[in-house]
Chains A and B, each alone.
Chain A
Amino acid sequence: MSDTAIALRSAVSPVTETRAVRTTLIALSVVVMVLFLIAPLIAVFAQALNLGLKPALATFDDPDAIAAIKLTLLVAAIAVPCNLVFGIAAAWCIAKYRFRGRALLVSLIDLPFSVSPVVAGLVYVLLLGPFTPIGAWFLEDFGVRIIFAVPGVILATIFVTFPFIARELIPLMQDQGTGDEEAALSLGASGWQTFFYVTLPNVKWALLYGVLLCNARAMGEFGAVAVISGKLRGETVTMPLQIEIYYQEFRALAQVSAFTLAAVLACLALVTLMVKTWLEWRYADQLAATRSGH
């Protein structure tokens, strides 16, 4: 009897908790997940389909809604590539070089995280509005309005989503050091060849995560865009703003439209997640190789 007890005890790893503790912890995380992640998602879809499928689909007959979807996609399509380039450049500088002001640059990259998006939007309004020198110059010489127009929305989105890609790349690039690059150069590769054949493949997974996060945030950004866009319906209103506009209307149909658009936004996020999961599954061996390479 005591022998089996000893055998059982020794079979349990010293870093494992007792069954009761494990069950409690798991239950707790499941409850939190359902309450804070899954339930809201279900609520969004439930509200959208509250009056049936037809009223929900009627949302897409509203030109304002279509304009909002188009603008959101346009903004993401411009902001994400911009931040891809900026993010890689910033991460490259910080991870591979030592220079004066490097620490300052690291903190600057985090600025959009620490500053409230509303403040960021306001700063742009104050800096680039039509009655400021820069704003007036753009307006008079080029006929381009920045604030309360699409360029402002794009600028604000770029600002808010700037850190995502750089933040994802910096630790990895720092960890990898410059050994591979030096090897490529010593083998006769040019700077660009080194970048495209060696540096980029080494960070491509981190880059993918960064792009996905950046994209999700670019499509969902509310605060900065709300301030800078002026909420001109059908012109500068993105999906999150349109959702809010619908939601404030207090008509049953507008409520449905609000949640339908919210559901579309949620779907976009879900698709992104699915793409990421699929890529991870598809290239599992490659992922393992890059992680345990050294």
Chain B
Amino acid sequence: MELAIRNVRKEFERFAALHDVSLDIRSGELIALLGPSGSGKTTLLRLIAGLDFPTEGAILFGDEDASFKSVQERNVGFVFQHYALFRHMTVAENIGFGLKVRPAATRPSKAEIRRRASELLDLVQLSGLENRYPNQLSGGQRQRVALARALAIEPRVLLLDEPFGALDAQVRRELRRWLREIHDRTGHTTVFVTHDQEEALELADRVVVMSQGRIEQVGTADEVYDTPNSPFVYSFIGESSSLSVRIENGQIWLDDRATGLLAEGAPNGKAALYFRPHDVELLEGGAGIVGTVVASRRVAGTKHVELQIGGAQHRVEIEVPATHSAASAGRIAFRPTRWRLFSDAGPIPYQAAPAPSVAYAPAPRLQVVAS
């Protein structure tokens, strides 16, 4: 089932939770809505489900306008952060609930409902727990039951609201892999909400980065990580450093020093330079950006060095090899190898850095890639 969200706006008592959001979701894709709390991601999910209705705009299920259809008519599977299992029903009854409440004409027989429930329990790897009550299950098991219950109604779309938010880190990682497997096996179009970027980048085919009721960027894990299109995405996903710089005739200046970075065709004026701490090369001599080491900490195989540049105005963090001598004190000169400029008006077309004279090649980093 393809979904399309067209210019949706949602207000709660004059407070706008979503401003003019548009998004196309492909059939069979696993897509993540990622953002900090208050970014409107859960609101968007609830609008898709029909648990809330848009103030403006439309939500399409395939070609059909579902904007004002009730949640029952939309036939979506919804998984809640706090499971919302029916506590007075057994696991099997919980899973069979969606079938039991169907009108008599389409309701399967009791035996059939029971068979479907145990089939789904197999799928979520909880066979044998049919007669347990929710309070006799662990958090991870409860969320599996909740998913089985949502799948039981053969939904057109599967929607998950921070499905692993209430679980501890270990269980979370396991369930993440398991959800991916279930998705690949069942092929449902799946939308899930998370504030955990690692979860989104690892699990989803595409990630929708949201902030303050707007979609900032939509793309694969690689795209949002490697080519963030706004300062927000740069700083929200992964680590980043920024410097306020000045562009003059295609050259980037930091205070009164040329950084050696070129921004051909960029308009003159102030801008913000963003780069990842590991996308830097160290330079000998006085070229590039020079900073004084303020602090350094060891992170796994590398050292993170905090630099103060040009008085107290700028602080950035860069990554250097653990063995680097200047890491503990003194001055370091560096140049970002991948970077991006943002002016107040928006991003400036992406500029490749001049062919670097590699002083040191950054240690190969483990990159999370969605398969």
Determine if chain A interacts with chain B.
yes
B85 partner residues in chain A, CB cutoff 8 A: 183, 293
A189 to B71, CA, bound (A): 10
A16 interfacial by beta-carbon distance below 8 Å: no
- Contact yes or no, B135 A289, CB < 8 A: yes
A202 and B88 form a contact (CB under 8 A): yes
Q: B29-79: which have CB < 8 Å to A?
A: 49, 51, 70-72, 75-78
Number of interface residues of A (CB under 8 A): 23
What 0/1 pattern do residues 174 to 215 of A give for CB contact below 8 A with B? 000001101111111110010001100110000000000000
User: What distance in Å separates the Cβ of B326 from its nearest Cβ neighbour in chain A?
Assistant: 54
- Say which residue of B83, B84, B102 sits within 8 Å of A182 (CB atoms): B84
Which residues of chain B come closer than 8 Å to A180, judged between CB atoms?
84, 86
What's the A-B contact tally at a CB cutoff of 8 Å?
78
Q: Is A114 an interface residue (CB 8 A)?
A: no
Q: How far is the CB of A205 from chain B (nearest CB, A)?
A: 10
Let me know if A294 and B51 touch, CB within 8 A.
no
Cβ-defined contact, A202 with B101, below 8 A:
no
B88-A289 in contact (CB<8A): yes
Tell me the chain B residues, 286-308 only, with Cβ under 8 Å from chain A: none
Residues from chain B with a CB closer than 8 A to the CB of A186 are 49, 51, 71-72, 76-78, 150
Q: Which residues of B contact A289 (CB under 8 A)?
A: 87-88, 133-135
Q: Does A277 contact B (CB under 8 A)?
A: no
Contacts of B71 in A (CB 8 A): 182, 185-186
Residues of A within 8 A of B51 (CB): 182, 185-186
B188, chain A: closest CB distance, angstroms: 15
Q: Is A10 an interface residue (CB 8 A)?
A: no
User: Does B149 reach chain A (CB closer than 8 Å)?
Assistant: yes
Decide: A198 near B98, CB < 8 A? Known: A182-B51, A186-B76, A292-B135.
Answer: no
20 pairs, A vs B, C-beta closer than 8 Å:
A180-B86, A182-B51, A182-B78, A183-B84, A185-B70, A185-B71, A186-B49, A186-B150, A187-B149, A187-B153, A188-B75, A189-B72, A189-B101, A201-B88, A202-B88, A288-B135, A289-B88, A293-B85, A293-B87, A293-B134
